[in-house]
Structure 1
Amino acid sequence: MTQAPARPAPRFALDRRSFLSASAALGAATAAGPARAQSGEAPAEIVVVNARITTMDPDRPEATALAARDGVFVAVGTEADVAPFRGAFTTVIDAGGRRLIPGLNDSHTHSIRGGVNYTYEVRWDDVDSLEEGLHRLREQVARTPEGQFVRVVGGFSEHQFKEKRLPTVAELNAIAPDTPILVHHLYKLTLINDAAIRYFGYDQPGHPTYPGGTIEKVDGDPTGRLLATPSGLLMYRTLVAAPKLSIDEQVNSSIQYMDELNALGITSVSDAGGGGMEFPDADAYAVTHWLHERGLMTVRTGYHTFPQIKGEEYDDYDRWTREWTPQQGDDMLKLVGGGENLSWASYDFEIFGEPIPDIDSDAEEIQHRIMTLLGERQWPFRQHITYGQTADRLLNVYEDVAAGAGLTEGWFIDHVETFTPAHLERIAALGGGINIQNRLQFQAEDFVEQHGMDELQRTPNFRAILDLGVPVGLGTDATRVASYNPWFALQWLSTGLSRGGMRMYGDDNLLDREEALRLMTVGSAWFTGDAGRKGAIVPGQMADFAILDRDVFAVTDAEIAKITADLTAVGGTVVHAKGAFAARDLRHVPPIAPDWSPVVDYSEMGRG
């Protein structure tokens, strides 16, 4: 059995400057108070006072102060309640009346892969015009060295641009006749300029081809448009074939990405694997384990295993279930189970502007065999299922396996956009969870064109899902589909706004802001096996929290997407702080690498 890495002792490394700052702070604290907490108990490591705390604890939904020790909350209530836990070495933070929430938990993302690519990619997540997007590409072309790509990989919608369109290949060629450019839009379309066509060899006889995608050509010449028809496998393979950062740069990129997530209030994620993520050998996994072994992770990560090659899924799961065990690892990094891909035969890509795709004719047979293996080996799993038509076929397999080998506790279905109440009730009857993401927020206008506004009104059917009483989590499906910014997802659930500004739902299918926040805190904890251990600010749970730069319950609908964290803590350790709290972050985040990275020159959504 493969052994999990030993839990690291120090969680975060300090450089000399941070050490001196810490020493000065501790010296001041020693002069200010006794070495023991006033109550005689061991003192807390961190105390926050003068906060407007949303606890997610139904018995005490609001508080003004908290204390944490040994990675968990030890007191929540008023300043008087936490006063006994103050000692000489306690970090005391006056929140200044700001809103404090549990750390956000993105229950469906691809952060391990996204991390190693973060500093390589131009992001358009928050760009409101194509003109600005092309300007960013033009500037990045000027600084990108020979042999490297300029790439935009997901996180945006053409509907967010005032021009309401994507760039043309001609525009990409005009910007960069010699530097390869790749613009990946959802799993619907990838645009590549002539330099990238030459790099991939798509203009040569015998070039690589992949099932499930089309390299568009006119009179035998590639147009620079890669189409998902009906799946995104061509996009996966093209991205894998592009240049990568060096391992050192991937380490730096992952640190920068975690810091950016922390700056948005994220403290935990559930990673769904993805294309190019060969488990456990992909560089991205090696980088993540290297960071974990050195105590450098600042986002708790539970991950699932994702088969890469059609026809080899059963063999992959047979090997993984022999060599690994669910929950192997620790609270900062652990294996959760299988998925989100159980088999390529069952995979229904979410291209909402196209007709609903059919899964393979033998999908049930293939899936039954894999699910039986997982049941026998007691592995929980997650599965990507987008459409009710796919659920019509696959839920029969679920029910059959449940009656035989069994479904291991902790299994769930991701996405469920067009599931009917009947489909949802079948999941509930089997004891599964439902994990929703804001993918449709980026494609609402396409969906309406293909399926109509009436159908959109219940896609997904939030109220029917919540009424089931099953575990429900909220994620983003970042970074190649949706944005990693969790506040887009929270805005979507509570306002129904698409990224293009379309009102997607009536009031009867919206959640209030606290309900939405609950899904991304308490709700999402279940999806990594951590229900009752994190997600709420109550004594005994993991001390993960964020002090926001503006009050999520007071801002306008439009401002929700602009929220960031002034301070974020994981296990009671400050991992991000800015503004009035900047001196509280004692970590050393290295300079961005490579030095030609687009992240150097463009403001990020969290770190600004």
Structure 2
Amino acid sequence: MKPLHKILFSFVLGAGMFNAQKADLIVTNGKITTMDDKNPEVQAVAIKDNKIFQTGTNAQILKLKGSATKIIDAKGNRVIPGLFDSHLHVIRGGRFYNTELRWDGVKTLKRALEMLKEQAQRTPKGQWVRVIGGWNEYQFEEKRLPTLAEINEATGDVPAFVMYLYGKAWLNKSGLKQLNINGETPNPMQGLIEKDSNGDPTGLLVAEPNAFILYSTLAKLPELTEAEKENSTLQYMTELNRLGVTAVMDAGGGFQNFPDDYGTTDALNKKGKITVRLPYYLFAQKKGSELSDYTKWTGMVDIDDHGHNDHNGIDYHVEGGGENLVSDGADFENFLFPRPELPATMEKSMKEVVSLLVKKRWPFRIHATYNESITRFLTVIEEVNQETPLNGLVWFFDHPETVSEDNMKRIKALNGGIAVQHRMAYQGESFIHRYGKKAALASPPVKKMLEMGIPVGLGTDGTRVASYNPWVALYWITSGKTLGGTQVMAKENALDRKTALSLSTFGGYELIKDYEKGKIKKGYFADLIILDKDYFSVEEEEIKDITSKLTIVDGKVVYGDETYKNVSPAALPVLPEWSPVKYYGGYQTK
């Protein structure tokens, strides 16, 4: 007979081994789209640690229930992998989110102006009312932009800055006074301060087509305290979680300096508070110093170090260089004005930086709106590849609305990828006005990219040049329509809903050769969402209003609506007290 202590040890060991085979969390009763072709739809999924443990029927998966397993009932709702926005500006956007009144999704200009007036009344002295992109006139029933008179009437003596994509902005009278903009203020390069017949500024700032006039004006507005920036960033991430976003490739951005402006997300990551996966790219800021900046950054950062914090496995690390590598390569994104001609110095400065990144094995991404720019960029990359082979290094173009088939062949030959965004949902009418309907119908030629076997990811480019709502992107790429209902993309170029979803899930990850995310499949990271409407069956117009009922990132619930309040983190109070986010939230889905 075994001694009692050995019997007890065997019992404890056996119980431990038994529990080791049990799930931490199980989602049941779902219509679960896995994006796994071998097992496309299941009823339940088990999660262990931060990975998908098993998928199957309720009966199969509930066998994995242990004494500590949490059970979440999907109540027959559609469940999909978490959405991956392959081009978004979260680190910069998060710093300012709580200061911004979002007109994203607002249905009428009347309501937008009411919100502006209400917010002006609660904004304290020393602060501004700001509307920072993510909307256009065609989303409004009135189909027009606000006037300066309407903005001045709504805001009174409170300084206000209202930005329309990256095309123009309106400063009210108080804002002009605060910034000391007067008849003597010169126009910045490729920008216009509109003046009346007396030579006085009207308040309209125009990008012609360089958005520097908008960037630089924004940079003069007051910032939040560090505690408020942390709160602001968390509020923005929660808003993304509400829309089903579980991961983002951050594309840097103008006036987003490394490492100085990354302190907020650095601090949140160390505390384990980040709720979206956040690999980020470093964006050159100063013309003439790009090579020295990238030389410094490649010396500071180990690009292969994807080390996590002590709390979870959520990605937060430098992924590479871009989206703007050199100032000479900026072809902007403003279809209100003609395509800019890149300077003759572009090739030299671009080649220096790309050569450095390839030698250091840093992935890179390049902002490229126009085919003419892409032709020249590709010549540079081809020359670098001859001298220092890419050898499978991750690289891709962002945006390329007008890329040609010939250039797509060159991209394919260099094993490059393409990240597309829904900028045409916001600027489609402007594009048609300038370049014609025929040119718009294949801008960008997404279906051809996929037919050619080029990796393609879908994103938004929020928060300024478009909204951060990924469902607007999925609406645009499946319907071919702008926010205003204009058929901007040919039906034959639009994608079916499952293919479109693949670009927002595992397809986006394939851009960066990450093959462990974007599917609800055994061994994949556990990022998934329960939808409030069935993406695969709702009417076309309803797609852009879909939200998440429950969002899981890295195996943990990070967001839940009222239905799932008991299993979700408590809502974080908004700081500061006067923040528009406290009163309106973000994207207006109702």
TM-score range, shorter chain: over 0.9
Q: Which moved more, 1:391-400 or 1:409-418?
A: 391-400
- Partner of 1:156 in structure 2? 135
Q: Which string of whole-angstrom CA distances, capped at 9 and with x for unpartnered residues, describes residues 264-304 of structure 1?
A: 1110000001011001111xx10101111001111110100
**Offset of 1:126 from its aligned partner?**
0.7
Secondary structure of the 2:584 match is coil
**CA distance in structure 1 between the partners assigned to 2:193 and 2:563 by the alignment:** 52
508 and 118 in structure 1: CA distance in 2 versus 1, 3 angstrom threshold: same
Aligned length, in residue pairs: 569
Aligned with 2:505: secondary structure?
Answer: helix
State the partner residue of 1:314: 291
1:571 to 528, 544, 554: 554
Aligned to 1:505: 489
SS at match of 2:45: strand
Q: Does 1:597 align with 2:579?
A: yes
Whether the 8 Å contact between 1:202 and 1:208 is mirrored in structure 2 is no
1:536 maps to 2:519: yes
Greater CA drift, 597-606 or 109-118: 597-606
The aligned runs of 1:508-523 (5 Å cut-off) are 508-523=492-507
Work out whether residues 265 and 568 of structure 1, in 8 Å CA contact, stay in contact via their aligned partners in 2: yes
Distance 1:47 1:37 in 2: 19
The 3-state SS of whatever aligns with 1:601 is: helix
| 1:288-303 mapped onto 2 (5 Å cutoff) | 288-303=265-280
Who is 2:393 aligned against?
Answer: 409
Tell me the distance in 2 between the aligned counterparts of 1:536 and 1:454.
Answer: 36
Structure-1 separation of matches of 2:473 and 2:589: 19
| SS in structure 2 of the partner of residue 256 of structure 1 | helix
Q: 2:323 is matched with which residue: 334, 340, 343?
A: 340
Q: Against the structure 1 CA distance between its residues 246 and 40, is the aligned structure 2 distance closer, same or farther, given a 3 Å change threshold?
A: closer
Q: 1:78 to 1:364 in 2, by over 3 A?
A: same
Letter in 1 for 2:583: D
CA RMSD of aligned residues (A): 1.7
Distance 1:64 1:72, change over 3 A: same
1:272 partnered with 2:254: no
Aligned pair partner of 1:65 in 44, 61, 67: 44
Map of 1:8 onto structure 2: none
Cα shift readout 1:362-396 (whole Å, capped 9, x = no counterpart):
11111111111111111110110000111122211
The secondary structure found in structure 1 opposite 2:504 is helix
Match of 1:451 among 422, 435, 445: 435
Cα 1:36–1:356 change in 2 (3 A) is farther
Q: Which residue of 2 aligns with 1:110?
A: 89
Q: Which amino acid aligns with 2:237?
A: M
How far apart, in 1, do the equivalents of 2:102 and 2:550 lie? 24
Alignment partners' CA distance in 1, 2:579 and 2:15:
47
Would the aligned equivalents of 2:358 and 2:393 in 1 still touch at CA under 8 Å?
Answer: no
| Alpha carbons of structure 1 residues 201 and 63: separation in structure 2 relative to 1, 3 Å | same
2:104/2:588 contact within 8 Å kept: no
Following superposition, the deviation at residue 588 of structure 1 comes to 3.6
| SS of residue paired to 1:171 | helix
Which residue does 2:77 correspond to in 1?
A: 98
Following superposition, the deviation at residue 497 of structure 1 comes to 1.4
CA distance in 1, matches of 2:156, 2:75: 53
Structure 1 unmatched ranges of 5 or more: 1-34
Structure 1 residue 405 displacement after superposition: 2.1
Matched, 1:423 2:407: yes
Distance 2:107 2:410 in 1: 41
Q: What is the Cα deviation at residue 605 of structure 1?
A: 3.5
Q: Any conservation in 1 of the 2:190–2:208 contact (CA below 8 Å)?
A: yes
Residues 463, 126 of structure 1: CA spacing in aligned structure 2 closer, same or farther, 3 A cutoff? same
Quote the sequence identity (%). Answer: 42
By how many angstroms is 1:204 displaced? 6.5
Q: How far is the alpha carbon of 1:208 from its aligned partner?
A: 7.3
| Alpha-carbon distance between aligned partners in 2 of 1:145 and 1:483, rounded to the nearest angstrom | 27
The AA in structure 2 aligned to 1:554 is: S
Which structure 2 residue ranges, 5 or more long, are not aligned?
A: 1-13, 309-313
Q: Note the alpha carbon deviations across 1:63-84, whole angstroms, 9 max, x for none.
A: 1111111100010122233233
Match of residue 127 from structure 1: 106
Paired residue for 1:26? Answer: none
The AA in structure 1 aligned to 2:332 is F
Aligned to 2:192, what secondary structure does the other structure show?
strand
Counterpart Cα distance in 2 of 1:451 and 1:111? 32
